[in-house]
């Protein structure tokens, strides 16, 4: 059987959990590198937005107008991953 790798990311909470498929590749190394890069950038941006959060990890009210859309998008994104699937 031929093996391919599905690269996806997930996010949301209990009631709005989602998975978004990004691409499929035959190259395991490409899937691994993309996943590492995505997760690294996600970690960097989440770290940058922490300066606008309170102690509980929520966006401070005074920054909601400027940053709420992007913060919500990043806050809801959990991780990028790949999974091996087979073509029959």
pLDDT in tens, 22-51: 999 999 999 999 999 999 999 999 999 989
- DSSP assigned state of 57: S
60 band by pLDDT with thresholds 50, 70 and 90: confident
Contacts of 7 (CB under 8 A, 6+ apart): 21, 22, 23, 24, 25, 31, 34, 35, 80, 81, 82
CA distance 2 to 13: 34
pLDDT at 85 over 90: yes
**pLDDT at residue 31 in the model:** 97
């Amino acid at each position: 059987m031929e093996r391919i790798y599905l690269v996806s990311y997930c996010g949301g909470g209990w009631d709005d959990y989602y998975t978004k498929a990004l691409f499929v590749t035959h190259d395991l190394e490409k899937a691994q590198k993309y996943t590492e890069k995505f997760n690294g950038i996600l970690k960097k941006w989440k770290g940058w937005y922490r300066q606008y959060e309170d102690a509980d990890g929520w966006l401070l009210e005074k920054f909601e107008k400027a940053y709420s859309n992007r913060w919500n998008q990043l806050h809801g994104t959990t991780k990028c991953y790949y999974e091996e699937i087979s073509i029959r």
